[in-house]
């Protein structure tokens, strides 16, 4: 059974606090209606572990604000404060041998049915293995992605993950660690926590957000990398059966990175993934600071601060498998 990390520090109510202090009142809309919007931001050590960089922080903040806007949740912080809060938590928790995944969440702590809504920015951060993700088996779920006129997939809100959770439960029973959700028209929307990339006829294809996928930052980066590598990148609807005929498949997401898909339902893909592997190498070299890439912007944290603070706070080592998941 999955065991989640319990980091020593969180950021809540404008300050760094102990994990056990991070509580919400049962009467808040965050609890009664699951009302919150969130992001997942990845932080990478560079290749020689001298600098720690958080990927695409301004874009994650912009998407957090878009999600909040659609749900009429006021965002209590500006960009500077947001970035500083992220850095302060990472400085406390970072370890030289582990990357990190940070979850900034706006929880609705006051208000009632849209009146007097007040949100608090909460940050939690978790250690992650530095190794690239291994290929996985994926199934197509019987559950459907919600539509733009119910809870729009554009909104990265906690309640949007109820269906994803059901799909994961269904998948676990069938031996799959990730599941594809189809949209209201029965075409491919995305996976439960990442987008889908498909290669057919030498082109990298992904459905547009109007097919029910999140406006993914990783997909935007992949589009840039494809342009640099002269690989055609196309956004168009994808039928379920096209997944079974695909030459290559991959997840694309902040946490999933570019996880290769080895098998989809009963269809096994060819082992080599020549086109997406080129994209993966470029992505990996960019986030590790080996070869800069235009769309891969890293908000860097100085190593001195990381070293002195993480040592003085004696943060316990976490096991590589104990990862949070969206």
Long-range CB contact pairs, 22-25, < 8 A, 24+:
22/122, 22/124, 24/107, 24/109, 25/109
DSSP line for 133-179:
PPPEEEEEEEEEPPPTTSS-TTS-BGGGGHHHHHHHHHHHHTT-SEE
Compute the least distance from the CB of residue 253 to ligand PMP, in Å: 3
Compute the least distance from the CB of residue 123 to ligand PMP, in Å: 16
Residue 278 CB coordination number (10 Å):
14
- The C-alpha atoms of residue 298 and residue 296 are separated, in whole angstroms, by 6
Burial class (CB in 10 A: 0-12, 13-18, 19+), 22: middle
Q: Which one of 109, 214, 258, 269 is in contact with ligand PMP (CB under 6 A)? A: 214
Q: Which one of 194, 204, 269, 306 is in contact with ligand PMP (CB under 6 A)? A: 194
Q: Which one of 40, 104, 212, 289 is in contact with ligand PMP (CB under 6 A)? A: 40
Q: Which one of 7, 193, 209, 260 is in contact with ligand PMP (CB under 6 A)? A: 193
198 lies in the binding site for ligand PMP (CB under 6 A): no
218 lies in the binding site for ligand PMP (CB under 6 A): yes
Q: Closer to ligand PMP at the Cβ: 152 or 285? A: 152
Q: Which one of 128, 224, 250, 254 is in contact with ligand PMP (CB under 6 A)? A: 254
Number of residues that bind ligand PMP (CB under 6 A): 13
Compute the least distance from the CB of residue 286 to ligand PMP, in Å: 14
Query: How far is Cα of residue 183 from the mean position of the Cα atoms in its chain?
Result: 20
Q: Which residue ranges make up the site for ligand PMP (CB under 6 A)?
A: 40, 190, 193-195, 213-214, 216-218, 253-254, 326
């Amino acid at each position: 059974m999955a065991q989640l990390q319990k980091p020593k520090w969180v950021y809540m109510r404008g300050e760094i606090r102990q994990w056990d202090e991070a509580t919400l009142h049962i009467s808040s809309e965050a609890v009664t209606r699951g009302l919150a919007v969130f992001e997942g931001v990845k932080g990478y050590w560079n290749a020689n572990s001298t600098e720690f960089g958080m990927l695409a922080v301004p874009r994650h903040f912009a998407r957090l604000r878009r999600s909040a806007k659609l749900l009429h949740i006021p965002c209590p912080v500006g960009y500077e404060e947001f970035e500083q809060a992220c850095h302060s938590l990472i400085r406390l928790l970072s370890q030289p041998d582990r990357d990190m995944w940070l979850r900034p969440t706006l929880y609705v702590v006051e208000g009632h049915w849209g009146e007097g809504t007040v949100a608090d920015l909460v940050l939690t951060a978790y250690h992650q293995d530095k190794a690239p993700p291994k290929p996985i088996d994926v199934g197509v779920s019987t559950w459907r992605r919600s539509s733009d006129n119910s809870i729009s997939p554009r909104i990265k809100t906690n309640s949007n993950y109820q269906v994803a959770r059901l799909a994961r439960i269904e998948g676990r029973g069938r031996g799959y660690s990730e599941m594809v959700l189809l949209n209201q028209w029965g075409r491919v929307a995305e996976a439960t926590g990442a987008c889908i990339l498909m290669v057919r006829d030498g082109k990298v294809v992904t459905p547009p957000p109007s097919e029910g996928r999140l406006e993914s930052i990783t997909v935007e980066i992949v589009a840039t990398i494809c342009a640099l590598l002269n690989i055609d990148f196309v956004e168009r609807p994808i039928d379920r059966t096209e997944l079974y005929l695909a030459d290559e498949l991959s997840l694309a997401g902040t946490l999933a990175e570019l996880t290769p898909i080895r098998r989809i339902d009963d269809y096994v893909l060819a082992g080599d993934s020549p086109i997406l592997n080129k994209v993966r190498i470029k992505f990996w070299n960019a986030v590790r600071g080996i070869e800069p890439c235009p769309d891969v912007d890293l908000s860097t944290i100085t190593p001195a601060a990381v070293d002195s603070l993480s040592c003085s706070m004696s943060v316990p080592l976490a096991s590589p498998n104990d990862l949070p998941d969206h």
